[in-house]
Structure 1
Amino acid sequence: MTCNALLMQSVTIIDLLLIASLGEQPIAAFGIAGAIVAFILGIQAAIANGTQLVLSRAVGAGDRKKVGLEMASGWVTNLGFSSMALVSLFLLAEVIVTRITDNAVVASEAIDYIYISLLLLVFSSASSVVVCYFNANKKTRIPLYGFMIEIPFNVVCSAVLIHGLWGAPEMGLEGAALGSVAAIGIRFFYLAYRFFQEKKLGNVMGFSVLSRESIIAHIQEVVPIVANFIVLLTGLLLFQILFAQLPVPAYAAITLVLPWIKFGSMFANTWAQASTIMVSQYLGKKEFSSIPPFVYQSLMVTRIIAVFIALGFFLLSVSFPYFYPNLSSETLTALSIIAPIYIILPLVRTNNMFCGNMIRAMGDSYMIVRINIITQWLIALPLCALMIYLSAPLYIVFGIILFDELLKCYSFRKTLQKRLDSYLA
């Protein structure tokens, strides 16, 4: 699962590496468009995460008909949301982007990137539910093979279309979007084929009993998880919108760093999600006493992972001039200013990720929503806006992300401990 997540996030890293040579304006455009597309993809992933927990309980209970029913309900839910998001972006992308930036060139490139990426949302939505099925059944290598097919194709196709290699048109940022769409389409057809094989073998059934009631029941299970992710993703999107008000070199530096932060966070997040599958299966089997010792062991591994992520970010901070040799001196200076913040960040964020995933798996999703609303929406975002308005130094503005994680750390840990104690009672 970790390899899957890293490969998924590497798509953004690859695009950034290929786009970096085009200059700061395409990077800024990618930052805006990528944030909007990532917002939709994130909600898709949140819906899929809820579906995965429900599927894991059904797998733990050994109910194959329930597995098929939840799969069908998951597809209806995910594709229904994606269809509404696609129409909304098609109609409102230009309005949204022009509200974020007043740079005409940046806005134009960002809008073109979003329009091309609409098809990507459809393939991603359908694929995410299939990935949930294989994860819930501990067949995580199948999604991994899908990414191993997608990534090389994405690298070659994007490079050709961005730079106009081998007689292809030189499309710049639009080429990166087209390459990603073509690559995820190939991955979808591979996953669909493997899932069809599972159905032929009788490992999943129950599609024919799909009903309005089953879809509503599935949505009710998923909504608390989705609500939490929407709070987080909307907050992240608003952070990026606020960062877009900074000078172009500072915003370009943050745009370059954020995908790497997500990339590093994937190690801890996928470990936590794999742990939630085990917890959900324990819940399905009603083996409640097995949950606390398993969670404590997983938390220890999470903390070890956090240290290695921080070390990796330190090495990354000294490697940026080699990764992006065409950047201006102002952007490289901005990268060095924010380096201490993103190096320390995983030491706190990984703990919060783990606790949040565990609490959601145990049914306390609304508690996580409340904590995130208070720390992110009522404190961190207004503070970030105020600091930008006051023209505060870049390290203070960017450091509010770390401050937000510090605020929620104690509440997450206390909530998780309370739930674990209830299983030991």
Structure 2
Amino acid sequence: MTLKALFLHGTVVIDGFLLSSLGEGALAAMGLAAALGGIVLGVIFAFSHAMQIRTAQAFGGGDQVFLKSVLASGLAVSLSIGIIGVALILIWGGTLIAALAPSQEIADQAQTYLSIFTIVILGEAIGQCIASFFNGCSRSKLPLYGYLLSVPINVLSSIALIHGLWGFPELGVAGAALGSAVAITVQTLFWSILLLRTNGHLRRVAGWHHTTFLLTVKRHLRFALPIAATFVSATLSTHVCSLIYAKMALNDFAALTLIAPWNLLAGQVAMQWTQATGILVAQLLGKRTPEAVLDRFLSQAWKGAFVAAGVVACVFLAMCLSLNWIYPELEAETRAILFGFLPILLIIQFPRATNAICGNTLRAAGDTVYVMHIFVWSQWAFRVPATALFVLYFDLSAFWILSLFLWEEVLKFPAFHRRLWRGDWKRSDVAA
């Protein structure tokens, strides 16, 4: 799961690198189009996270009707989101791009990129649902195989179509979008074939988990919406804070911008460990595992989370000690600000990991609304207004702005751990 996540986020970096040779205009066009398409993809990814937990509950219980119902309803929801998102892009995407683009040339390139990118959205709507189903069934290698196949295809086809190599037309920015579309199409077809080979028998299973397909989809949505809302809220709050950062001094803003991708990539080690813990807890609850066994498993998983947090902390330590080598062109002041982040980056990994263990365990038990409230309130009642206050009123440095992420984890700590230690989650009827 960790390797798959690194491939997923690394693909965006690769596309930007391949287009960088065409100049800032091409990068701006891709960034503008990807920002609009990324909103729809973000919602799809949010629902796919709920899908893997619901699948794990069904897989753990061994109920084939439940498993078929989760797969069918998850695909229906995900594909509906993709279709609605593509429709909105086709109707209003051009207007938004025209309003946001700095020039007509960039707007035209972005519009072409976004039109082709709709294929990626529809492919991911199906593919991410299947990948989450595999994760929930403890077949996490299968999604990874899909990325091992699609990433080289993406790179080679994008290079060929951007620059017109090996007899292909030179399409520029549109070539990058078409390369991604080809790769995602191959990846989705590959996962679909694997799904038919591993779970094709589900087509012959009669009945639905909640009487009818419509009721089954409604129950799936009731479970998934709080989880999806949590992820969407996190994305929106991060974007709002990024807009506020733009009011800071240039070096502070640059340092906060540079640390964001490091947080995203390095944090996958601990994040995927805690998500895998949630999947396994959901499977154990589906099997109605005795409470003592659940306690032993979670205790071991918790220790692993601390090890994963330690690994991430070591990555940041190495990064901060190598700033002169990694970013030699940066001003000395910006590198000094980045190095000053080190205490926060070392400390925050541990409360973040233990909070994530609690959150994913409670989600696995169906306590999704409570987890959503913790995230939403800590983001919108604390971090976003505190960021605005620190930047716009007190004019504090980047160190204090980044420290708000640590204080947010401290704020969530008692709410998460009190709920988990109460123990109600161990008696949840996840098949209900």
Given the two structures, how large is their TM-score scaled by the length of structure 1? 0.84
Match of 2:239 among 227, 237, 240: 237
Query: Could you tell me whether the CA contact under 8 Å between 1:291 and 1:423 is conserved in 2?
Result: no
Q: CA RMSD in A?
A: 3.5
Asked if 2 retains the 8 angstrom alpha-carbon contact of 1:292 and 1:423, the reply is no
The 5-angstrom pairing of residues 111-260 of structure 1 reads: 113-162=113-162, 174-200=174-200, 202=201, 205-206=204-205, 211-243=213-245, 254-260=256-262
Q: Choose from 375, 378, 382 the match for 2:381.
A: 378
Report the counterpart of residue 282 of structure 2 in structure 1: 280
Corresponding position of 2:76:
76
Q: Report the Cα offset of residue 265 of structure 1.
A: 1.8
- What is the alpha-carbon distance in structure 2 between the residues aligned to residue 333 and residue 258 of structure 1? 18
2:294 and 2:353 map into 1 onto residues whose CA distance is: 20
Distance 1:322 1:204 in 2: 55
Shift of 1:336: 5.2
Q: Distance in 2 between matches of 1:24 and 1:321?
A: 25
| Alignment partner, residue 296 of structure 1 | 299
Please show how residues 375-414 of structure 1 align to structure 2 within 5 Å.
375-390=378-393, 392-414=396-418
% same residue = 27
1:346 aligned onto 2:353: no
Structure 1 stretch displaced more, 311-320 or 167-176: 167-176
Counterpart in the other structure of 2:65:
65
State the alpha-carbon separation in 1 of the partners of residues 375 and 137 from structure 2: 31
**Is the 2:162–2:173 contact (alpha carbons within 8 Å) kept by the matching residues of 1?**
yes
Stretch moving more, 163-172 or 297-306: 163-172
Q: CA 1:87/1:46 → structure 2, altered by over 3 Å: closer, same or farther?
A: same
In 2, the alpha carbon distance for the partners of 1:30 and 1:335 equals 28
Q: Which range moved further: 208-217 or 240-249?
A: 240-249
* Mapped contact 1:49–1:132 kept (Cα < 8 A): yes
Once the 2 structures are TM-superposed, how far is the Cα of residue 305 of structure 1 from its aligned partner?
0.7
> What is the CA–CA distance in structure 2 between the aligned matches of 1:183 and 1:59, rounded to whole Å?
30
Q: 2:313 matched to 1:310? A: yes
Q: Structure 2: any 5+ residue segments left out of the alignment?
A: none
- Specify whether residues 410 and 31 from structure 1 end up closer, same or farther in structure 2 by C-alpha distance, changes over 3 A only: farther
CA separation in 2, counterparts of 1:179 and 1:301?
Answer: 38
Correspondence for 1:367: 370
Residue 57 of structure 1, CA deviation: 1.7
| Amino acid paired to 1:316 | M
Going from structure 1 to structure 2, the CA distance change for 1:150 and 1:194 (only over 3 Å counts) comes to same
Name the count of aligned residue pairs.
419
Change in 2 beyond 3 A, CA 1:336/1:80: farther
1:161/1:347 CA distance change after superposition, 3 Å: farther
Given the superposition, is the C-alpha separation of residues 288 and 23 from structure 1 closer, same or farther in structure 2, using an over 3 Å criterion?
Answer: farther
Question: CA 1:61–1:414 in structure 2 vs 1: closer, same or farther (change >3 Å)?
Answer: same
**Residue of structure 1 equivalent to 2:14:** 14
Q: What is the rounded CA distance, in whole Å, between the counterparts of 2:198 and 2:235 in structure 1?
A: 33
Partners of 1:356 and 1:315 in 2: CA distance: 29
Instruction: Identify the residue that residue 419 of structure 2 maps to in structure 1.
Output: 415
Cα distance, 1:15 vs structure 2 = 3.0
> 5+ unaligned residues in a row in structure 1: which ranges?
none
Comparing 313-322 with 78-87, which one deviates more in the overlay? 313-322
Counterpart contact for 1:44–1:125, Cα < 8 Å: yes
Residue type matched to 1:417 in 2?
A: W
CA deviation digits over 1:3-55, x for unaligned, max 9?
Answer: 22222222123234445666777667666655554443232122122222222
Give the Cα separation in 1 of the matches to 2:419 and 2:198. Answer: 39
Cα distance in structure 2, aligned partners of 1:170 and 1:251: 37
The alpha carbon displacement at 1:414 in A equals 2.7
Distance 1:365-1:382 versus aligned 2 partners, 3 A rule: same
Secondary structure, counterpart of 1:380 in structure 2: helix
Change (3 A) 1:69 1:294: same
For the residues of structure 2 that align with 1:42 and 1:137, how far apart are their CA atoms?
23
Aligned residues of 1:303 and 1:350 also touching (Cα < 8 A)? yes
Taking the aligned partners of 1:116 and 1:321, their CA distance within structure 2 comes to 40
Letter in 1 for 2:45: A
Comparing both chains, which one has the higher relative contact order based on Cα–Cα distances under 8 Å and sequence gaps of 6 or more?
1
Deviation at 1:247, TM superposition (A): 7.5
What is the rounded CA distance, in whole Å, between the counterparts of 2:246 and 2:94 in structure 1?
16
1:393 Cα deviation (Å)?
3.4
The answer to whether the Cα contact below 8 Å between 1:15 and 1:176 also exists between their aligned partners in 2 is yes
